[in-house]
């Protein structure tokens, strides 16, 4: 929901950093993969309940997610790079939730399970529409620089990062926060399902 407002600001911040990486011949795909594996280190950190360290890895992953796009815009945007980026993003999002399950299975298991099912809803509505939109040649005027047709909603990238930050700051309240975020995600999934269906009809 807030991504269109935040994206121009983050791009201005990340463009100089991307320029330095381009000078060193670092590709966008390398940034994507590096950020993904660094982000996965949040899982053992969460399992050990080192929430500050986990948050650091999560933020590094999210910065890398913006940085790879900045590098791609300064070099060459490819469908392969966009595909790699979105797939690793969804794996990472689910992995973070799994990390909180490992941190406290007795307290967090059901809430984590609910949130993972919810991510299937937001992810499937997003990716299914994107694939058919590409087939139909439906343009995405709100996100012209995205590799895939980016279908917005109540919960997008910014809201997901905010949720992860709150999970790390108040891990004792993970179940309540996860349920609240799950409701917001289901609103996104249902509105995407309805608007996507109407558009394709």
Give the domain ranges of the chain. 3-200
Q: Which among 35, 150, 152, 175 is positioned nearest to 97, based on CA atoms?
A: 175
* Percent of the chain's residues with pLDDT above 90: 73
Q: Is the dihedral of CA 138, 140, 141, 145 positive or negative?
A: negative
Query: What's the whole-number average pLDDT of the chain?
Result: 91
pLDDT of res. 35: 97
pLDDT of res. 110: 98
Which CATH number applies to 3-200?
1.20.120.1760
Least confident of 52-56, 135-139, 155-159, 169-173: 135-139
pLDDT of res. 141: 46
Going from the C-alpha of 104 to that of each of 8, 36, 115, 186, the distances in angstroms are: 38, 24, 15, 24
């Amino acid at each position: 929901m807030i991504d269109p407002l935040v994206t121009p600001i983050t791009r201005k911040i990340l463009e100089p950093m991307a320029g330095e990486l381009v000078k060193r011949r670092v590709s966008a795909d390398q940034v994507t993969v590096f950020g993904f594996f660094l982000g996965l280190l949040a899982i053992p950190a969460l399992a050990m309940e080192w929430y500050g360290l986990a948050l650091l890895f999560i933020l590094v992953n999210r910065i890398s997610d913006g940085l790879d796009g900045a590098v791609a815009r300064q070099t060459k945007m490819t469908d392969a790079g966009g595909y790699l980026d979105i797939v690793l993003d969804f794996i990472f999002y689910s992995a973070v939730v799994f990390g909180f399950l490992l941190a406290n299975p007795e307290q967090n298991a059901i809430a984590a399970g609910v949130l993972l099912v919810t991510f299937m809803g937001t992810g499937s509505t997003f990716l299914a529409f994107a694939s058919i939109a590409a087939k139909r040649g439906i343009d995405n005027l709100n996100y012209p620089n995205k590799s895939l047709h980016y279908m917005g909603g109540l919960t997008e990238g910014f809201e997901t990062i905010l949720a992860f930050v709150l999970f790390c700051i108040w891990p004792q309240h993970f179940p309540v926060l996860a349920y609240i975020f799950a409701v917001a995600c289901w609103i996104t999934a249902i509105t995407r399902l309805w608007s996507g269906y109407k558009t394709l009809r």
